[in-house]
A and B are shown apart, each in its own frame.
Chain A
Amino acid sequence: MAKGGYVGKILYLNLTDGSTKIIPTSDYEKWGGGHGIGSALFFDLVKDKTIDGFNPDNLVTIMTSPFSGTLTPSASGRTEVQGIGVQAYPIPWFTRSNFGGRFSGMLKFAGYDGLAIHGKADKPVWINIINDKVTIEDAKTLWGLDTHETQEEIWATVTGSKDARDWWELSAKRDGGRSTQKSAVLCIGPAGEKKNRNACLLHDAGNAAGQGGFGGVFGSKNLKAISVIGTGSVPVADPAALFATRLELQKRFGYNVDDPTLESPVPGQSLYGIIEGHPGYATLTWGASADQPARPQGCMGCFKNCRNNFASGLANGNQCVEGLYWSASGVLSEQMAATTLLDKMGINVYDVFYAHGWLHGLYKQGIVGPGKQIDSNLPWEKYNTYAFIEAFTKAIAYGTDIGKDLADGVARAAKKWGRWDIDTSSGALNMPQWGFSEHYDPRLEVEWSYGSVFGDRDINEHGVNWHVHWMPLVRGAFKQDPLLSAEALATAIAKATGQNDPKGYDYSAEGVYSDAKIEAVAWHRHYTRFWKQSLGMCDWAWPMLINYNAGEDHEGATPSFEPRLYKAVTGNDLTWEASLELGRKIWNLDKAIWVLQGRHRDQEVFTNYVYDVPTVAPYPLPVFENGAWSFGTNVGRKLDRAKFEDVKTRFYKLEEWDSTNGWPTKAGLGKLGLDNVAAELDKAGKLGVDGK
Chain B
Amino acid sequence: MTDKEPKQVTRREFVTSVGGVGVGAVLGGLFLRGFLLPDQVLAIPASKGYLLIDTKKCAGCESCMLACSMVHEGASNISLSRIQITQNPFGKFPDDITQSQCRQCPYPACVKACPTGALHADDQNGGVRTVDPAKCIGCERCIEACPFTPSRSLWNFEDGHAQKCDLCASATFMGEKGGPGGMQACVAICPMKAIKFTTEIPVQKDSGYAANLRNEHWGNLGYPTD
**Chain A residues with a Cβ under 8 A of chain B:** 69-71, 76, 102, 105, 109, 148, 151-152, 163, 165-167, 174-182, 204-205, 230-236, 239-244, 246-247, 250, 254, 256-260, 263-264, 267-270, 278-280, 287-289, 293-305, 309-313, 316-317
Contacts and interface: CB of A to CB of B under 8 A. Distances in A.
B223 A301 contact: no
Given A152-B90, A257-B218, 19 more contacts: A71-B66, A165-B100, A166-B149, A167-B150, A177-B79, A180-B150, A234-B76, A243-B70, A247-B188, A247-B189, A256-B193, A257-B221, A287-B222, A293-B224, A295-B58, A295-B59, A295-B96, A297-B60, A300-B62
Contacts of A300: 61-62, 66
Interface in B61-110: 61-63, 66-67, 69-71, 73-80, 84, 86, 88-94, 96-98, 100
12 contacts: A109-B77, A205-B89, A235-B75, A243-B176, A257-B191, A267-B222, A279-B192, A297-B97, A301-B61, A309-B93, A309-B96, A316-B96
B70 A295 contact: no
Interface stretch (B11-19, B112-120, B153-161): B153-161
B91 A163 contact: yes
Interface of B: 56-63, 66-67, 69-71, 73-80, 84, 86, 88-94, 96-98, 100, 143, 149-151, 154-155, 157-158, 160, 173-176, 185, 188-189, 191-193, 213, 215, 217-224
A147 B153 CA distance: 35
Contacts of A244: 175
Contacts of A293: 93-94, 223-224
Contacts, number: 221
Nearest to B70: A239
Prevailing SS type, chain B contact patch: loop
A151 B73 CA distance: 31
Nearest to A303: B191
A267 B71 CA distance: 37
A288 B223 contact: yes
A243 B67 CA distance: 7
A342 to B, nearest CB: 15
Contacts of A205: 89-90
Contact of B219 (A151, A182, A259, A267): A267
Contacts of A303: 61, 63, 191
Contacts of B192: 257, 279, 296, 305
Contacts of B215: 258
Nearest to B215: A258
Contact of B157 (A177, A239, A243, A287): A177
Nearest to A273: B221
Contacts of B222: 267-270, 280, 287-289, 294
Contacts of A287: 222
Contact of B221 (A152, A279, A304): A279
Contacts of B193: 256-258
The 7 A-B residue pairs with the shortest CB-CB distance, nearest first, are A240-B175, A268-B222, A289-B222, A298-B61, A204-B89, A165-B86, A233-B75
A71 B91 contact: no
Given A289-B222, A296-B59, A313-B92, A71 B157 contact: no
Contacts of A176: 157
A297 B70 contact: no
